[in-house]
Structure 1
Amino acid sequence: MMLLVPADPLRPRRPDEHFAAEADAARAAGLDVAVVDHDALSTADGAASGVARVPQDAGAAVYRGWMLRAGQYTAFAGALAGRGVGLRTSAAQYRQAHELPGWYAALSDVTPPTRWTTGGDRDAFERAATALGPGPAVLRDYTKSMKHYWHEAVYIPDLADLDAAWAVAARFRELRDDEFTGGFVLRRFEEFGPAEVRTWWVGGMCRLVGPHPDTPHDAPPAGLDLSAVEPLVAALRLPFVTVDLALRADGVWRVIELGDGQVSDRPGTVDPEAFVAAVR
């Protein structure tokens, strides 16, 4: 298996500093490592040039890098296939893990109730708000929230007040700008503790439990019980994902997010050698 990481923009033959430790750990573990040009992959027609430094006919590969839109990942996978390299995570699997509508139904019993729109118009937003029902909610799109703008672009005190709710949605849309993905996602607000746990899954099995990147020094609790989550994640049949969990005020662990493991950040407090050994 080959590990693909973004190149340093200033030294394009070397891994980006953010992923250099993982690249070094992968080489030490006997894996081949190649760099890709993330800036090129992020453009409409840059996939071929973005993978130009990947060796021909290298076989299976896993990406560890910056987030890509689902369409960009599809072009990335296609360009690699043209060089005889196959990503372990297909384009369809990437979209399923990366965008909330792809995984929500499978995990609906262990995550806050959710409704979403296709696109960003107000009528669709109000229909989703009405379907979720009155009460507090949090807002995001298919891939991301604006959590640093909590009161103006995330938290909605009561969906029954559609004008106030739309004001939050309009601000969110403004802040996301061209990065707005898919549509609005409304999730029922639940009261959680301050720290999340990030778990890493390969082939439907949890391989590593660690802190969330937002709280890298908050170690996860010993003996975290994943029994309610394990069969649900396994049923998705996704090759490499992360599942973020938080402890609700009533003591129940809830899934906050499922994401593609290739573009989920590793906290610096998680040893890169241990990380590579766990998820390889």
Structure 2
Amino acid sequence: MRPRRPDEHFADEARAALAAGHEVAVLGDGAPVPASDDVVYRGWMMSGAEYAALAARGVALRTGPADYRRAHELPGWYAAVASRTPRSVWTCGDDRAGFLAACASLGSGAAVLRDYTKSMKHYWDEAAFVPSVADTTAAWRVASRFRELRDDDFTGGFVLRRFEEFTGAEVRTWWVDGVCRLVTAHPDTPSEPPPTDLDVAGFAPLISGLRLPFVTADLVRRADGEWRLVEIGDGQVSDRPRSTPAAELIAALAR
């Protein structure tokens, strides 16, 4: 353990921030509170409660606890972007009755399962893809496996998202105060750069309407050619693809 040094995954960003003249602090237990009145956290995903505890220590976070949850959890951002993202329904909690009601609300067809913050896409067939929400026995089997895998990290409730056929790699866009400041590859496909014909202008009114300080929006092309929004996340806990230099992200964060 190195409680006074940045996690290795974020060390290059810390070095880039220092080189750009920013204060850098490691926010471990017992660490001094940064003096800055505009702190941007960069690190691993936190629950809403963990983030609120960080703010309660007196850290002047650019993104407050309520805004963190709105960006980090799907129910917080879905309504604002519903026209450009797959139709979604969700439960409060993990009970079977609530899940089956969500299936009925979605109607028929295939869906992708997640909770408020994360999917298990690397377990696609067993814990993410629901071939038919009308087949409630099979759907609940997927949900049960998802719940088992998420364990203590399960957040909020089940989310069912209408399955749409996508093509090509996702693109990660980075937004500061409602303005797109950076467009990168997705961390899962760092060697696949964003297509040159991607135009984020159509998403700008939706994302700026959220009035959130720092978010990412992952975009992907649907099989019919339309660009769709897959997910919004709080930018502080969104991974940067290794193909994007750390200095570019640090520069994008400047106000």
- In the superposition, the TM-score normalised over structure 2's length comes to 0.97
Match of 1:231 in 2: 205
Match of 1:64 in 2: 42
Quick one: distance in 1 between partners of 2:173 and 2:37?
27
- % of aligned pairs identical? 62
Asked whether the equivalents of residues 25 and 273 of structure 1 are also in contact (C-alpha less than 8 Å), the reply is yes
1:194-273 map, 5 Å: 194-273=168-247
Match of 2:107 in 1: 133
Secondary structure at the counterpart of residue 98 of structure 2: helix
The superposition leaves residues 94-130 of structure 1 with CA deviations (integer Å, 9 ceiling, x where unpaired) of 0000000000000000000000000000100011110
Say which of 47, 67, 71 aligns to 1:93.
Answer: 67
Match of 1:26 in 2: 17
Say which of 40, 44, 51 aligns to 1:73.
Answer: 51
Q: Does 1:53 pair with 2:27?
A: no
Quick one: distance in 2 between partners of 1:162 and 1:93?
35
Match of 2:121 in 1: 147
Match of 2:27 in 1: 36
Asked whether the equivalents of residues 35 and 54 of structure 1 are also in contact (C-alpha less than 8 Å), the reply is no
Secondary structure at the counterpart of residue 61 of structure 1: coil
Match of 2:152 in 1: 178
Secondary structure at the counterpart of residue 14 of structure 1: coil
Distance 1:59 1:185, change over 3 A: same
Alignment RMSD, CA only?
A: 1.0
Asked whether the equivalents of residues 197 and 211 of structure 1 are also in contact (C-alpha less than 8 Å), the reply is yes
1:151-162 map, 5 Å: 151-162=125-136
Quick one: distance in 1 between partners of 2:182 and 2:225?
22
The superposition leaves residues 183-230 of structure 1 with CA deviations (integer Å, 9 ceiling, x where unpaired) of 000000000114100000000000000000000000001141112210
Report the Cα offset of residue 58 of structure 1. 3.2
Asked whether the equivalents of residues 200 and 279 of structure 1 are also in contact (C-alpha less than 8 Å), the reply is no
The superposition leaves residues 159-185 of structure 1 with CA deviations (integer Å, 9 ceiling, x where unpaired) of 111111011001100111111100000
Report the Cα offset of residue 137 of structure 1. 0.4
Amino acid at match of 1:90: G
Quick one: distance in 2 between partners of 1:131 and 1:123?
12
Structure 2 residues not aligned, in runs of 5+: none
Report the Cα offset of residue 21 of structure 1. 0.5
Quick one: distance in 2 between partners of 1:140 and 1:249?
22
Structure 1 residues not aligned, in runs of 5+: 1-9, 38-49
Asked whether the equivalents of residues 203 and 239 of structure 1 are also in contact (C-alpha less than 8 Å), the reply is yes
Secondary structure at the counterpart of residue 33 of structure 1: coil
Quick one: distance in 2 between partners of 1:162 and 1:255?
27
Quick one: distance in 2 between partners of 1:245 and 1:188?
16
The superposition leaves residues 35-55 of structure 1 with CA deviations (integer Å, 9 ceiling, x where unpaired) of 012xxxxxxxxxxxx252334
Secondary structure at the counterpart of residue 196 of structure 2: coil
Aligned residues, how many? 254
